Amino acid sequence: MCSYLLINFWYTRVQANKAALKAMIMNRIGDFGFLVGVLLIFYFFRTVDFATVFVLAPYFTEVVFSFLN
């Protein structure tokens, strides 16, 4: 939302409106990717605690995750 408001400060300019909408859409896509990453960490490690994930990570070297295959 902040990106949208900062870019759309000059609301009378068409290019500012287009850029603000593009920023909002890109941020939503990035948020979705972040959520998928957190859910995958929880799926494999059953926790999102960084200390636990870093301790368990060496045991998951053989795990292969195929995305969009």
**Looking at the predicted structure, is the pLDDT value of residue 11 above 90?**
no
> What are the helix (H) ranges across the chain?
2-7, 14-45, 50-56
**Whole-prediction pTM:** 0.72
Domain extents in the chain: 2-60
Average pLDDT on 7-26 reads: 84
The mean of the pLDDT values for the chain is 88
Give the pLDDT score at 21: 87
C-beta atoms surrounding 20 within 10 Å: 20
Left if phi > 0, otherwise alpha if psi is -120 to 50, otherwise beta: which for 24? alpha
20's tokens: 């603000």
Model confidence at 16, pLDDT cuts 50, 70, 90, reads confident
